[in-house]
Structure 1
Amino acid sequence: MKCSRNSFWTSIRNSVYCGKIIIPPSEDTELNLVEGIHQPIISEDLFWDVQDVLNGKKKIQGVKIATPLNLPLRGFMYCPECKRTLTGSASKGRPGYYYYHCKSPCRVRFSADVINKEFESELRRFVPKPGRAELFKQIVCDIINNKTFEADKNRGIAAITEQQNLLTRSRTLLLQEDIDISDYKIMKANADEKILKLEAELKKIKNEASNAMDLNDLVNKTLENLKNIDKLYKMADIEGKRRIIGSIYPEKWTIKENKGRTDKVNFAVLLIYQINNGLWHKKPE
C-alpha cells in the first residue's frame, strides 16, 4: 500500500481494524467507541498496545544490531573486572580470530572460540535425560491447567466495575453542579478508554484459558526442541542462536576463570536441570 506518512499515522490510529466504530462527539459527550458488527483484522489487545507506544506510554524494542556468527554471546556477558557489558570483534592482527572484550580503558578479553565452546557444553546440561521429558510434560501441563485464569478474570471484571462506578459518580457530580460539563467530558473519556482496554485484556484472558485446555501438541513440540537444543543451537543462524541464549538466561553471564557463570536461569530450564539431577521435590506454586 502506498500512502503518505500522515495517512499511515491515521491508519494505525483507526480503531475500525480492531472491530470498534467511532461515534463522533456531540454537545453532551466526547468521541466514543462502540462494538462494530464487522470482523476485526487485529485484536483489541494489539491495537491498544500500539496506541500506548504512539502515546509514549510503552517502549518499543530497539533496532537489532548485526552480530557476527562467531560472536553469538556478544552483549550477553558482564566484564568480571568493571561489570560493564562485554562486546566482541575480530582480531586485527590475527585473521580468523575473534574475541569477547571490554571497552577502553579496561583490557579484559577472552577467546571467543573458548567461550563459545564453554556455552555449548553448558547448554547440554539442559537436554532432558531419557524418560525425564515425560515427567517435565506432566508438570508443565499440571501447572498451566491449574493457572488462576479465574482470578485474573475476576480482577479484570472488578477493574471495569470500578471505572463504571467512577462514571456514575461523575454524572452525579455533574447533576449536582459540582463539576462543569468540560470536566465531565474529560473524566468520561478517560474512563471509557480504560474500560475498552480492560475489556480487551479480559478477552485475552478468556482466549488464553481456552487455549490452555489443549496443550499436548505444543508441549510435545517444545520437548522435541529441548531434546535437541544443543544441536538446534549449532545449526541455527546468528539470530536463532541469540534467541536461544536469551530464552535460557534472563540475566547476563559473568566470566570467571575463562568460564561463564550466572545465578539466574529461565524457570522452565531450571526445572529441566533439577529433574535431570534428581533435585525436584515439589511443584512450584
Structure 2
Amino acid sequence: MRSAHKSLARGQNRAGYLFLLPWLIGFFCLTLLPMLGSLYLSMTKFNLLSPPKWIGLNNFVQIFTSDHTFVNSLVLTFKYVLLSVPLRLAFALLVAMALNKGLRGLGIYRTVYYIPSLLGGSVAIAIVWRQIFDGDGLVNHFLGWFGIRGPSWIAHPDYILYTIITLAIWQFGSAMVIFLAGIKQIPADLYEASEVDGAGQVRQFIKITLPMLTPVIFFNLVMGIINSFQAFTPAYVIGDGRGGPLDATMFYTLYLYLKGFSFFDMGYAAALAWIMLVIIGVFTAMIFVTSKYWVFYGDGNDGR
C-alpha cells in the first residue's frame, strides 16, 4: 500500500514538474542566464566589437566617483518617480470614485479610460504628445484663445519634464480599473452604518474607503514605482533622443541606452543596469516593510 502511494506521489510530482517545465526553461534561459551574463559584463570593458576584458569593479568605481551624468540622471529619474506616481494614483482613484456612482454605460467609460494605458508607452503616442505640446501645438492654440502665448513645452528645459509627467498621469487607466474593482468590493454595510452615525462623504472616504483600499493602493504603488523607474520611450521621443534640451530628459534608462548603444560601452551600461536593479529592489523592499503600518486587509490582519 505504501509503495502504491509513493509511486502515485512520484507520478503526480513528475506531472507537476512537466507542467512547470515551460516556465522553468523560460526562467533559466530568458531570465537567470541573461542576468548572470549581464553581471559578468558589468565587470568588463566591452564595446560589442572585441571580446570582453575583465576589469573588476572599475565600472562601478567610475560611476560613483566621477560620472556626473549618472548623478544628474538619477536625480531626474527620482524627481519623475516622486511626482508622477502619486499624481497618477490620485487621479486614477478620483476617476474610479466618479465611475462608481452607477453611471450608465460604465463599461464604455472604463474602456475609454483604459485605452491610454495600452497606448501610452508606445512611440506613436509619444510622437502625438510631442506634437500636442510643441510651440505650435494644440495646447498653445488653446491658450491662444485666452490671449496667452505659451512656450514650446518640449523645447524648454524647465517645462519638458512636466510634459512627460503629464503623459504619465494620462496613463492612469490600469490603476483606475484596479481601484474601481477594489471599491466595488467594499461592503455597503459599512457606508450605511456610517450614515446612521452621521458621517458625510468626506469622512466616509477617509475612514472607510481609503483604509479598505490600502491593499489596492499598495499594489498600484509598487507597480507604478517599478514602471516609472524604467520609463524610457517618453524621454527618448519627446526629447531629442540624447537627453536634451540641456539634459532635461536624461532619464536613467536613456543614459543607460546611450552608453550601451551609442557609445558602445556595454560593460558600463550593464553596471548601470545592475545599479538600477538594486535601487528598484530597495524601494520595493521599503514599501513591503512599511506596509504593515498602513495596509489593512479587512480580515483582522495588517500588512504583516
Q: Same fold (TM over 0.5)?
A: no
Q: TM-score, normalization: structure 2?
A: 0.24
Q: TM-score, normalization: structure 1?
A: 0.25
Structure 1 or 2, whichever has the larger Rg, is 1
Q: Say which structure, 1 or 2, has more relative contact order (CA 8 Å, 6+ apart).
A: 2
Higher helix share: 2
Higher strand share: 1
